[in-house]
Amino acid sequence: MSRSNFVSFIGSGNVAWHLAPALDNTDFAVREIYSRNAANAAALVDKLYEAEVKTSLDFSSSISRIFIIAVADDAIQSIAQEIILPEDAILVHTSGSQPLSLLGYAATPDIGVFYPLQTFSKGKKVDFSEVPFFIESDSREVEKVLQNMARAISKHVHTIASHQRKAMHIAAVFAANFTNHMLFIAEGIMKENKLDFAWLKPLIAEMITKSLSIGPQNAQTGPARRGDFEILDRHMEFLQNNEAIAGIYKEISQHIIDTYHG
């Protein structure tokens, strides 16, 4: 196997936990894992074929060419400035919201972004073949390497710019993170009133399926969509003892009203 296909990870969190084994099962073998938490790095190494724990950011003697920074956004820049790389190294980060330029002070001109658009949890298996990957680099050669690496595990590989990736990340927060928080609020309301959250699951599944099938604008239902102010007032009265939840209900309802009846 060519050195150009050897990969090292900086970070052992949720992204690395899933991405490293996925790449390790292709021609892109993972050889090193560095983490501030050595125990986490060792646990990830146990999931790989020939990788070893790296105890410092000095990779000057590494046999890898591709170095993937998979850490929290606020740690990317400092790692890029501190890491010592071998010649010909390609350094990338996996963030959805951080620009390519964050790697601008790294000790290599060959930098890029290797962003999987998915939510990751260590206990939940991910089918990478269906995960979209978004690639960015100022170098055509680096872009080609990253595209080949993404295509080794995914059927959906795209090249986009930093500002587009930021917009997509914000959209993803609304679509996934905020949606999940709405479900958390709904679960709380059910529990407070001694109701089973499972009763809502068919409704939730149908709503998501319908939204993806006919589009969110066409799939919207509910009292705000109908402009049923009598029901909206009753709901606000019911929520009067929970000011925070009532505020969320009012803001979202008003936005729906403005969208369809403005």
CATH superfamily of 3-160: NAD(P)-binding Rossmann-like Domain (3.40.50.720)
Q: Is the pLDDT of residue 1 over 70?
A: no
Question: With the CA atoms of 17, 140, 76 and 46 taken in that order, what torsion angle do they form, in degrees rounded to the nearest 10?
Answer: 20
Q: pLDDT value at position 251? A: 98
Domain 165-261 architecture: Orthogonal Bundle (1.10)
Global pTM value: 0.90
Each residue's pLDDT tens digit, 29-75: 999 999 999 999 999 999 999 999 999 999 999 999 999 999 999 99
Map out the domains of the chain as residue ranges. Answer: 3-160, 165-261
Percent of the chain with pLDDT over 90: 96
Q: Enumerate the β-bridge partners of residue 177.
A: none
Q: Kindly tell me if the per-residue pLDDT of 141 is higher than 60.
A: yes
Domains 3-160 and 165-261 share a fold: no
